[in-house]
C-alpha cells in the first residue's frame, strides 16, 4: 500500500513514471475499515487544506438537451425520452446575469455546461464571449462543452478559461456498458489537449451506475495516475432520471459514496474534491461525512444542469451547522 502519496506526486517524465496507484491498491483503500479510511483521508486533507473551507461552483446550462451522444445516465441525450427539451444556446446577457447572481450569492466559480458531443466553430465564438464576460466579473471560469480539438482548446485558453471539465465518468472496463457513441480514449485525448494548452483540468466521474468495486477503483486509479492528476475532481452520485436507461438502477449505499470521496482524497491529495451531483437526495449527515472524508467543493445553487440541487438556504444552514465557510465569506 502506498503510504507516501505526496512523495509519489513529484512530476516525472511520462515515459519513466511508474503508475502511482494500481487498481488493486485503490481497491484495498475502499476495503479499509470505515474509521481507518476516514482517518487517513482526514490526515491527508489537513496536510493540504483548511478542513473547514469549501469552494462553491455554480453551474449554468448554456445549451440544454438534444445531445447526439448516448450516455446512459444523461437526461440530455437525444437517445432518451426524458422530457428535457432541445433548446438553443443562451444569449450572452442571460449568462452574465446568472453569473452575477451566483457571485452575489457567494459562488467563486461559474461553470458553463453544454449538451454537445463537441462544439462547432460558431458555438466557440459565443462561448469565448461568455468566458471573457464572466471572467470580467472577477469569477473563476469553468466550461464543459464535450470533446475539443487543439484549435478550440487554444481559443478557450486565450479567452482566459480557468478550468475545463471533462469527466472520465467510470473505469475503462465499464465505459462501454454506459456509452457507445465515443471511446474512453476520446476523453483522455481531450483532457491531454486541455492540459497541454495550460488550463486547469476538472475531471471526475459518476458512482452508483451499477459498477462493481473494482470498476469504481478503476475510475479513481485512472484519475490519480494522470500526470499531473486533475486540479478538480467532481464525484457525482448518479441522479436517476426517468426515461434514461439507468432510471431504475439500485441506490448506492451512501457510505460507499463517502468511501469514494475518501479514496479520491487520499490518492489525489492536492485536488479539490467536489461533492457533486446527488446532494439533493443526500442527508446532512452523509454530506458531513463527505466533508470529513476530504470533499472541499460543492455545486452551489438550486439547479445543476437539468436536475435540482439543494437551495442556497439549505446549503448555508448546513455549512453554518458544520462551522464551515466559503472563499467569499473570508475575503
Ligand atoms: N456534454 C459534455 C460532456 O459530456 O462532457 C458536458 C456536459 S455533461 C452533462 C457533464 C457531466 O455531467 C457528465 O460527464 C456526467 O459526469 C455528469 N452527469 C450527467 N448526467 C448525470 C446524472 N444523471 N447523474 C450524475 N451526473 C451526471
Ligand atoms: C460534473 O461533474 N457534474 C456536473 C458538472 N460536472 C457539469 C453536472 C451534473 C449533471 C447532473 C444531471 C443534470 O442536472 O442534468
Ligand atoms: Fe451529451 Fe454530455 Fe449528456 Fe453525454 S453527458 S449525453 S455528452 S450532454
> 178-210: per-residue pLDDT in tens?
999 999 999 999 999 999 999 999 999 999 999
Read off the pLDDT band of 305 (50, 70, 90).
very high
Alpha-carbon gap, residue 46 to 31, rounded angstroms? 22
Distance 23 CA to ligand 3 centre (A): 27
The pLDDT of 38-51, averaged and rounded, is 98
Alpha-carbon gap, residue 170 to 218, rounded angstroms? 8
Residue linked to cell 473563476:
140
Collapse the DSSP code of 234 into the 3-class scheme (helix H, G, I; strand E, B; otherwise coil) and give the result.
strand
Question: Which of 60, 113, 143 has most ligand 2 atoms within 8 Å of its beta carbon, as the pocket-test mutant?
Answer: 113
Candidates 316, 325, 239, 326; CA nearest to 282 is 239
Q: Pick the range with the lowest mean pLDDT from 12-21, 37-46, 71-80, 231-240.
A: 12-21
Cα first-last separation, the chain: 40
pLDDT tens-place string over residues 13-22: 444 556 799 9
The pLDDT of 293-308, averaged and rounded, is 98
Q: What is the CA radius of gyration of the chain?
A: 19
Are 237 and 207 within 8 A, CB to CB? yes
Residue linked to cell 425520452:
81
113 in ligand 1 pocket by Cβ < 6 Å? yes
Collapse the DSSP code of 159 into the 3-class scheme (helix H, G, I; strand E, B; otherwise coil) and give the result.
helix
Q: Whose CA is nearest to atom 2 of ligand 3?
A: 115
Confirm whether 290 is a catalytic residue.
Answer: no
Nearest atom in ligand 3 to 67's CA: 1
Confirm whether 111 is a catalytic residue.
Answer: yes
* Nine cell digits for residue 110: 461559474
* Nine cell digits for residue 244: 434514461
Which residues partner with 114 through β-bridges?
63
The count of residues in the chain is: 331
144 in ligand 2 pocket by Cβ < 6 Å? yes
Read off the pLDDT band of 308 (50, 70, 90).
very high
Amino acid at each position: 500500500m502506498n503510504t507516501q502519496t505526496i512523495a509519489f506526486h513529484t512530476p516525472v517524465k511520462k515515459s519513466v513514471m511508474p503508475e502511482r496507484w494500481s487498481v488493486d491498491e485503490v481497491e484495498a483503500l475502499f476495503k479499509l475499515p470505515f474509521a481507518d479510511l476516514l482517518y487517513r483521508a482526514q490526515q491527508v486533507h489537513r496536510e493540504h487544506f483548511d478542513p473547514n473551507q469549501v469552494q462553491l461552483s455554480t453551474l449554468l446550462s448554456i445549451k440544454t438537451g438534444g445531445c447526439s451522444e448516448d450516455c446512459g445516465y444523461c437526461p440530455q441525450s437525444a437517445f432518451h425520452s426524458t422530457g428535457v427539451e432541445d433548446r438553443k444556446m443562451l444569449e450572452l446577457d442571460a449568462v452574465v446575469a446568472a453569473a452575477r447572481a451566483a457571485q452575489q450569492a457567494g459562488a467563486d466559480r461559474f461553470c458553463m455546461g453544454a449538451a454537445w458531443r463537441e462544439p462547432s466553430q460558431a458555438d466557440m465564438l459565443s462561448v469565448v464571449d461568455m468566458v471573457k464576460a464572466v471572467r470580467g466579473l472577477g469569477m473563476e471560469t469553468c466550461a464543459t462543452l464535450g470533446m475539443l480539438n487543439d484549435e478550440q482548446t487554444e481559443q478557450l485558453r486565450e479567452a482566459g478559461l480557468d478550468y475545463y471539465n471533462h469527466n472520465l465518468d467510470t473505469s475503462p472496463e465499464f465505459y462501454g456498458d454506459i456509452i457507445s457513441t465515443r471511446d474512453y480514449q476520446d476523453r483522455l485525448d481531450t483532457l491531454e489537449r486541455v492540459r497541454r494548452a495550460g488550463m486547469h483540468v476538472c475531471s471526475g466521474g459518476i458512482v452508483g451506475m451499477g459498477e462493481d468495486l473494482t470498476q469504481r477503483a478503476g475510475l479513481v486509479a485512472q484519475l490519480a495516475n494522470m500526470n499531473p492528476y486533475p486540479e478538480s475532481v467532481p464525484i457525482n452520485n448518479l441522479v436517476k432520471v426517468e426515461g434514461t436507461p439507468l432510471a431504475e438502477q439500485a441506490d448506492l449505499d451512501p457510505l460507499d459514496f463517502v468511501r469514494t470521496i475518501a479514496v479520491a482524497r487520499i490518492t489525489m491529495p492536492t485536488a479539490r474534491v467536489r461533492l457533486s451531483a446527488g446532494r439533493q437526495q443526500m442527508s446532512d449527515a452523509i454530506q458531513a461525512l463527505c466533508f470529513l472524508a476530504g470533499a472541499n467543493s460543492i455545486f452551489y445553487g438550486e439547479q445543476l444542469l437539468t436536475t435540482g440541487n439543494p437551495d442556497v438556504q439549505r446549503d448555508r444552514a448546513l455549512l453554518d451547522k458544520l462551522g464551515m465557510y466559503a472563499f467569499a465569506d473570508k475575503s
